[in-house]
A and B are shown apart, each in its own frame.
Chain A
Amino acid sequence: MSSAAGASTSHHGSNSMEVPAPLLPLLSILSSLFLNLSSVFHRIPGSPIILRYIKSSYQDDPYRSLLEVLLVAFAIRTIFKGRTGGEGQGKSFIKFSEKEIDELVDEWRPAPLVEELEESDIQTLSSVPTIHGPGGTHVKLSAGGKSVLNLASIDWLGLVEADQMKQTAIDTLKEYGVGTCGPAGFYGLLDVHLRFQSEVAEFLGTEDAIVYSQAYATTASVIPAFAKRGDIIVADRGVNFAIQRGLQISRSQIRWYAHGDMEDMERVMQQVEKERKRKGGKLTKKFIVTEGIFENDGMMVDLPKVIELKHKYKYRLMLDESHSFGMIGAHGKGVTEHYNIPASEVDMLIASMANGCAAGGGFCAGSSVVCSHQRINSSASVFSASLPAMLATTASTALTVFNNQPELFNALQANSLLFRQILNKLEPTPFSVPPCDPAYITPSESMPPPAVTNNEALIHIPSHPQSALIHIFLLNPPSTLQEEEAMLQDIVDETLNTSQVLVTRARRLRGQEGLEPEPSLKICMSSNFTKKEVEKAAQALKQAITKVCSKRR
């Protein structure tokens, strides 16, 4: 330090000759300031040690000192740069003057907030029916209108109209009110939620379950709660919209396999394994994501095979049973019961309380580790108000119905079969009644549709024979999706107008789905229909399809 001071004085001295007189006082102030500073520095206890250290290190290893100076400079630069990266940074950043920015701001013309309504949008909106009064098997489409037979509502067991559900809801209302006014973390966790969670876990045979306040959000939130960036998800191409959004949010690596094709699934898994071996790297989480009964076509997953592959390649299984829970199996436990596989084999079993239970909300069943993880890490559980109490209690009541009235499920399947048999006249291949063997897999599960044998065939129904959710696809559709949807809408209107039977077509957000699903008619069977009503509905639909298809030819 003293040598540096010496250098500075000599510098001062050598320059004083040329420096003009007015600058001299400034220089003397500078040098006195420097002397003051150095005396202050010497007064700090321990300063001689630092000084000695710096000196000796400079003498021993000048490069190290240089490196240290550079490090200090870098640290200072980093501190001052701050963390707001991206602002005014980046290679492609162009510097503008304030005036230029003002001009650019004036020039910029944003697109309208939403596009104009297209003709098809207006048609979509006008084709949405409004139910006047209660839902159920018979509904009114206008205030004083005639009631029509309703095959468009999801109500597998006729619980929408059930008096015991209403009574449960009213009893709950008188104790809990309607809303819970808070998320589960903040005094929104009611005893009725806990009760439903333990009941459904016991019903399915899992360790635990967690309730969400909407079925759509359940699926879209459970997936990203576990699958993160860098993880691998093997998913069926035909999964529903909510799963697709969950996959998107997870930012994991998605590997698709052909819809319902177990061989393709194994091929994809082998490929993943191969890549991992080649690249090395650390073990990542691997998930299979699929559905029990597929929302988009009513097909059933080949669960035994999926479980086999899952164990073989060490995957975890996320199974969306939104539609199959309360529909499939002797007690409505879903495809696990149908195949006689313990539900605990499924790592995350996601199901809806709005469909089968005719209440609202959704849940995810699994091990206690899986469920407690979601209570803290699943955004739809943490950041949302909990489910209204009456929806939890009515769902509990629905579980009791599932347990105590298994005959309802028989009636549901009988109705579905009857309906399918009548419509089979329009299908290419004869319909075979499935035997009672739970491991039975219908030929319809192996897409594509079998070779045409019936020359009169107009439609194709890939849905599982036991599925109460029946999708009807046109065999020879028009060339564009719009035309096809318009044609299906014609069938819907025709069925309603001539026979007073309400069916619907599967609604899609075109352009937002991953793999555009084919347009289809959607039929929801219910155990509440009498045999006669099912026959009437099936005949009406058959006639309408024949009429609309023949008109086109």
Chain B
Amino acid sequence: MMGKANSRRSTSSQASSKLSTASRSLFSKSSPKASASGAGNSGTSESPVSARTSLLNVLRRPKSSHAITSVTSTNASSKHGQSFDSFNEDDYSDHGSTVASSYASSIRSSWSSRSSSSEDIAKRYENYLETPFVNTTTTIKHSEYGVCTNPNWRWTSHWDPAEPVHPEEEPQPPYYILLSTYLSYLLLIVLGHIRDFFGKRFLPKAYAHLVPHDGYAALNSDFDSFYTRRLKMRLDDCFSRPTTGVAGRTVVCYDRVSHDENNTFQLTGTTTRALNVSSYNYLGFASSSGPCADVVEASLHKYGVSSGGLRHDTGTTDLHEQTEKLVARFLGVESAYVCSMGFATNATTIPALVSKGCLVISDELIHASVRFGVRISGANVRAFKHNNLKHLESLLRESISQGQPRTHRPWKKIMVIVEGLYSMEGTLVPLPQLLELRNKYKFYLYLDEAHSVGALGPNGRGVCDYFGIDPREVDVLMGTFTKSFGAAGGYIAGTKHLIDRLRVTSHHMTYAEAMSPAVCTQIIATMSAIMGVAPPLASPPALEEPNDASSIVSRASRTFNYGPVPSHMLPSFMKLPQVVLNGLDGRDRLRRIAFNSRYLSSALRKLGFVVYGHRDSPIIPLLIYNPAKMLLFSQMMLNRFGADKTPIVIVVVAYPATPLITSRIRFCLSSSHTKHDMDMLLRACEEIGTLLDLKLAKQTMTVEQVIASAEELVASTHV
């Protein structure tokens, strides 16, 4: 095991110290305004007030014409706020509030007054990532799941018809940015070719794998690997940074250096703990301690690590069956099965659903695993423009009327494959309209909820829950456990008939290893935390309703009722604490991620950044366009020059995952983040975004204004 010196790095490099002086002057310029706005809004965050009064404060402010909808939604959350308040009484109202608010106000004053030096702030933030502001009794570490007890910082994720699901037009950057981006790539490509030209002649060893030698053809195509060698390698410091421990609210990264232009990296032996806005840990269930980890430990004692072999041999244990029943119950469908890898779930199931003579129409931005599966299936494939249902409809009309290519025979079946939440865009699928199309054109709908399940909807059931649609409307539901549940693998869910048939025909069931019992337990524990567990004596509400296959329309209009899981469905060794059993912990997690997502997304827009996606999406892409800025942004976030000096790790996404020019930063938010974490992230974006000229849209608020009016931003129906 490598040495673990949890030293926080002092920013020592020349570049960052230069930058830090620049930033200080930036902050001192903006701070007077900020203090003014902070004072005006002190009621919400400084004095220990109840959830209701603070929400009323928000509501009393002048509102736009959308006030009515926001009133109803905030009313709903204030009700929840009350119940939450009582549950967390010890934490919040006894000692927590005073400590928290004094701490918060001290931070606020230090940010706003010029007199306090940046050293003071740095000192105050020294243990920010590991020690919470308040004393808590929770067993979960603050570094994995942040302590955040203020009930105002909660939101319920649900569809508001007043907000468009998908904006008609993506925001466009100014022309000079486009031009400079194209020029950068042109320069990189020209330089790359020059280097290749001379390199091949003077350093033949380094190019051995790219040129035929000794009768062997080159292993890698010179042309195919050009992007990787000449463009991506310059950014390699942003990718595959090794980490250790839990990728929770914070993550510990190994520091590394490269002495050969990123060909290889050497670990320096030190580590840096950084705020983690990169991992798909939506509900914060990735943790090494706490109730879920305890249950997994009990399961490891009983079942061990492996169940030994394939599902159809002896890989199926009672734990697998319990997991599958629970997943079906969680999603509100009849049946489900699990697969040991998320990628393989798509890759092994799609070939069992479609074959030659069938047509798959998928969104152009669909995940690689779906493409993999479709290619194995042998079905024909078409793609429609991202979330563009008009284009989908025209494709459908054309495909159905034309039939199969050349023969014009009718298609056996048409399957439309979409994702609930797109992992690079933060956009949601317009599910209600898609279902209308489905009723007209009779295609089958395959919904990949890899990112949305757990992360969206008032009950955390994904996009169906978010839009208030009966999950049984969707023909095939797919999702993964890697993200919201802190486990691994994926599921396929649908009618009993479908799942039984897929158990026989899916490649995974017959040929791939079974899921580890420990992973099954993590899934069971986290799902029951979200659902809540009904006491043994209470009779569980019936899920199946007889004779409802008659009318699809009537089913769609019915709201679906997700109940708690009856305790008899859970393994007997599972002992969960009361706060998890009654579902309050799970509900709190759902509310926290909803607040964080909406807050950061709205705030970044107010600051003038170009942000894609839906405001309720926990995936928030921030556009940066120029390739050189990607590396700078990533490194500046890690070597923060801002006063608090807290490192932040972020993900940069570039071609080929995105179109060439729309390189972006992708924030993945989590319930484990606190509001202070979001504030810090916003300040960091402000510092770096100003320096790198990323605020390409119109800025309407300063960063301190945005932080002060967080609740208002979240409650408003538009940005």
**Chain A residues within CB distance 8 Å of chain B:** 86-88, 90, 92-94, 96, 100-101, 104-105, 108-117, 121, 124-125, 128-136, 139, 143, 150, 152-155, 159-162, 165-166, 169-170, 173-182, 184-192, 194-195, 213-217, 220, 226, 228, 231, 240-242, 245, 248-249, 282-286, 314, 316, 352, 354-355, 358-360, 369-370, 373, 375-377, 379-380, 382-385, 387-388, 390-391, 394, 502, 504, 507-509, 512, 522, 524
Contact bitstring B438-453, A, C-beta under 8 A = 1, else 0: 0011111000000000
Contacts known (A176-B288, A190-B244, A249-B376); A502 close to B314, Cβ less than 8 A: yes
Contact A385 B242 (CB under 8 A): no
Pick the residue among A128, A181, A182, A383 that contacts B369 (CB under 8 A).
A383
Pick the residue among B316, B400, B401 that contacts A130 (CB under 8 A).
B316
Chain A residues within 8 Å of B441, by CB: 105
Contact B217 A115 (CB under 8 A): no
Contact B300 A166 (CB under 8 A): yes
- Judged by DSSP, the binding face of B is mixed
Contacts known (A360-B516, A380-B343); A153 close to B353, Cβ less than 8 A: no
Chain B residues within 8 Å of A188, by CB: 243, 247, 279
Contact bitstring B301-335, A, C-beta under 8 A = 1, else 0: 11111111111111111101100000000000000
Contact B251 A178 (CB under 8 A): no
Minimum CB distance partner of B348 in chain A: A216
Contact B512 A215 (CB under 8 A): yes
Contacts known (A129-B314, A130-B318, A132-B317); A352 close to B302, Cβ less than 8 A: no
In chain B between 231 and 278, which residues have their CB closer than 8 angstroms to a CB of chain A?
A: 232, 239-248, 251, 253-254, 276, 278
Minimum CB distance partner of B284 in chain A: A181
B511 interface residue (CB < 8 Å to A)? yes
Contact B500 A153 (CB under 8 A): no
Contact B288 A153 (CB under 8 A): no
A282 to B217, CA, bound (A): 9
The 18 listed contacts between A and B (C-beta, < 8 Å) are A87-B395, A92-B406, A128-B316, A135-B307, A152-B313, A166-B301, A174-B293, A180-B279, A180-B488, A186-B651, A187-B247, A187-B276, A216-B511, A217-B344, A283-B215, A285-B218, A314-B215, A358-B306
Pick the residue among A108, A160, A507 that contacts B410 (CB under 8 A).
A108
Minimum CB distance partner of A395 in chain B: B305
Contact B368 A181 (CB under 8 A): no
Contact A113 B308 (CB under 8 A): no
A162 to B306, CA, bound (A): 11
User: What 9 additional pairs, Cβ within 8 angstroms, besides A179-B522, A384-B343, A385-B280?
Assistant: A114-B353, A128-B316, A155-B306, A175-B245, A178-B293, A180-B482, A214-B344, A285-B218, A512-B351
Pick the residue among B2, B217, B308, B443 that contacts A153 (CB under 8 A).
B308
A231 to B348, CA, bound (A): 25
B170 interface residue (CB < 8 Å to A)? no
Contact B247 A182 (CB under 8 A): yes
Give min CB distance, A517 to chain B, whole Å. Answer: 12
Contact A185 B240 (CB under 8 A): yes
Chain A residues within 8 Å of B351, by CB: 512
Pick the residue among B219, B241, B286, B382 that contacts A181 (CB under 8 A).
B286
Contacts known (A124-B504, A125-B504); A504 close to B313, Cβ less than 8 A: yes
Contact B375 A249 (CB under 8 A): yes
Contact B317 A131 (CB under 8 A): yes
A317 to B633, CA, bound (A): 42
A30 to B158, CA, bound (A): 59
A213 to B649, CA, bound (A): 24
Pick the residue among A110, A131, A174, A191 that contacts B444 (CB under 8 A).
A110
Contacts known (A93-B402, A213-B341, A352-B513); A181 close to B279, Cβ less than 8 A: yes
Contact A390 B343 (CB under 8 A): no
Contacts known (A125-B503, A130-B317, A179-B286); A170 close to B297, Cβ less than 8 A: yes
Minimum CB distance partner of A387 in chain B: B488
Contacts known (A125-B504, A182-B280, A195-B1); A113 close to B353, Cβ less than 8 A: yes
B564 interface residue (CB < 8 Å to A)? no
Pick the residue among A173, A355, A370, A376 that contacts B288 (CB under 8 A).
A173
Give min CB distance, A174 to chain B, whole Å. Answer: 5
Chain A residues within 8 Å of B285, by CB: 179
Contact B219 A191 (CB under 8 A): no
Minimum CB distance partner of A376 in chain B: B228
Chain B residues within 8 Å of A248, by CB: 375-376
Contact bitstring B553-586, A, C-beta under 8 A = 1, else 0: 0000000000000000000000000000000000
Contacts known (A105-B401, A124-B504, A316-B219); A394 close to B305, Cβ less than 8 A: yes
Chain B residues within 8 Å of A92, by CB: 405-406, 408
Contact A215 B412 (CB under 8 A): no
Give min CB distance, A316 to chain B, whole Å. Answer: 7
Contact A507 B343 (CB under 8 A): no
Contact B482 A181 (CB under 8 A): yes
Give the 8 A-B CB pairs with smallest separation, nearest first.
A153-B308, A216-B512, A214-B341, A384-B343, A354-B513, A385-B482, A181-B279, A114-B501
Give min CB distance, B677 to chain A, whole Å. Answer: 16
Contact A133 B519 (CB under 8 A): no
Give min CB distance, B33 to chain A, whole Å. Answer: 36
B361 interface residue (CB < 8 Å to A)? no
Chain A residues within 8 Å of B315, by CB: 153
Contact A226 B247 (CB under 8 A): no
Contact A241 B300 (CB under 8 A): no
B508 interface residue (CB < 8 Å to A)? yes
Chain B residues within 8 Å of A216, by CB: 341, 344, 348, 507-508, 511-513
Chain A residues within 8 Å of B348, by CB: 216
Chain A residues within 8 Å of B343, by CB: 213-214, 217, 379-380, 383-384
Contact A509 B518 (CB under 8 A): no
Minimum CB distance partner of B339 in chain A: A214
